[in-house]
Amino acid sequence: MAKDKIRDELLDQLLGGAKTQEEIFGPNGVIKRLTGALVERALKEELAEHLEQEKGQGAPNRRNGSSEKTLHTEQGPTKIAVPRDREATFEPKLVPKHATRVAGLDEKILALYARGLSTRDIQSELSELYGTEISAPLISRVTDGVQEEIAEWHRRMLEPVYVVVWLDALVVKMRYEGRKEVLGLWVETNEGAKFWMRVLSEMQARGVKDVLIACCDGLKGFPAAIGAIFPKAMVQSCLVHQVRYSLGFAPWQQRKQMAASLRLIYTAESEAGASVRLDEFEAAWGTKYPMVVRSWRANWAQLTGFLRFPVEVRKIIYTTNAIESLNFQLRKVTKSKGHFPSEDAALKLLFLALRNVEKKWFQKARNWCQAVAQLTTYFGEERLQTS
């Protein structure tokens, strides 16, 4: 018989004849009563060890009865007797003073909060699942506990080199008066070149020495901000954003035809071929939509940089879809909140949601080995050796 196997006689004694789910797992079932009994037993052992240590140090101390406490567990609220000592020097580790819940319940609260549930929804969910009444202030204290983790996450050092960095902003409404890796979360009232300069400067201060390719949307001044901090970085503007912007000038009945003409530009085999296609686009559409042609020519260097690479790299960098997909997942948990009362409240939810998302990021980009080989040829082995 295995050493850690509980004897059948003991199990029969613990069950006490209980056979149904209600008798075993119900609000007053065996598991709940056993949880309380085990906690009380462990606390008594803690106190005995504490008194023994004090005795060895020559400090007279002894037991002094107990106090009742309601402990919130995954089996529901359980009343326990917490032993006391006469000198009041005993500090329980299993259930610290003023603690009224076990760690597993904290994780349940954080998991529910990370899905975008409101405090009231969390209270209702816990009450329905475990018969546990948790106050709103307690839920806030549990979720506030991640603030220090957020601060540490923001301060963590980054890798010296990143092959591709996608940059984008997510709008979260707040009640203002007035392996993929997420590198950080920053809060700003308006997205602009100065804001991105601050973000990139912080990344540099946290250890990033080089960025090979920076993928971003068409925000004015964005490429200049990137170049100021990481001058060697190749800036690739998102083709999806550019096409969307271009189609905005055409009426609905012409957009499909214009989209087909634009597609010939960014699917060309080379930058030279794309330039020819742009000339053809201008001949067909330039008179009617000069702003579209002007926009493509003004941002040509940032729009066509991806054409210097083979298809494996092109698929990774031609669009900011990677971060747009992440933003979509974050919006799913923020949309039910409406407006946040503060920046901390928004960051708290977004950080917990990011933790959930990152757990699923365990696969490399498709054809990543081929892409790295091609990037090494283009940028040189020295710039990739620490990436």
Give per-residue pLDDT as tens, 21-45.
777 767 667 676 777 776 777 778 8
Alpha carbons 275 and 281: distance in angstroms, whole number: 10
Q: CA geometry: angle at 172 spanning 171 and 175, to 5°?
A: 130
- On the CB side of 292, CA atoms within 13 Å amount to 26
Contact 309, 374 (CB under 8 A): yes
| Dist. CA 253–CA 262, nearest whole Å | 16
CA–CA distance, 350 with 55 (Å, rounded to integer): 50
> What local confidence, expressed as pLDDT, does residue 295 receive?
95
Q: What is the pLDDT along the chain (387 residues), one digit of tens a residue?
A: 444 566 777 667 667 777 777 777 676 676 767 777 767 777 788 788 888 888 878 778 888 888 887 776 666 677 878 888 888 888 877 677 766 666 566 777 778 788 888 888 887 877 776 566 667 777 777 778 777 787 888 888 988 888 888 888 777 665 545 478 888 888 888 888 899 999 999 999 999 999 999 999 888 888 899 999 999 999 999 999 999 999 999 999 999 999 999 999 999 999 999 999 999 999 999 999 999 999 999 999 999 999 999 888 898 889 888 888 888 999 988 887 878 888 888 888 899 888 888 888 766 667 778 888 888 888 888 887 654
Long-range contacts of 29-38 (CB under 8 A, 24+ apart): 29/75, 31/75, 32/73, 32/75, 32/76, 32/78, 33/78, 35/73, 35/75, 35/78, 36/71, 36/78, 36/79, 36/80
Give the pLDDT score at 140.
79
- pTM for this entry: 0.60
CA–CA dist 333, 115 (Å, integer): 5
Residue with tokens 């700003």: 188
Tokens at residue 101, please? 């819940």
What is the model's pLDDT at position 263? 96
373 half-sphere exposure, CB direction, 13 A CA radius: 7
Looking at residue 148, its pLDDT comes to 79
Residue 289 CA to residue 291 CA, distance in Å, equals 6
pLDDT in tens, 131-152: 666 677 777 777 787 777 878 8
Contact between 339 and 182 under an 8 Å Cβ cutoff? The reply is no
Instruction: Give percent helix, percent strand, percent coil of the chain, each to the nearest 5.
Output: 55, 10, 35
Is 204 in contact with 158 (CB distance < 8 Å)? no
If you count them, how many residues does the chain have? 387
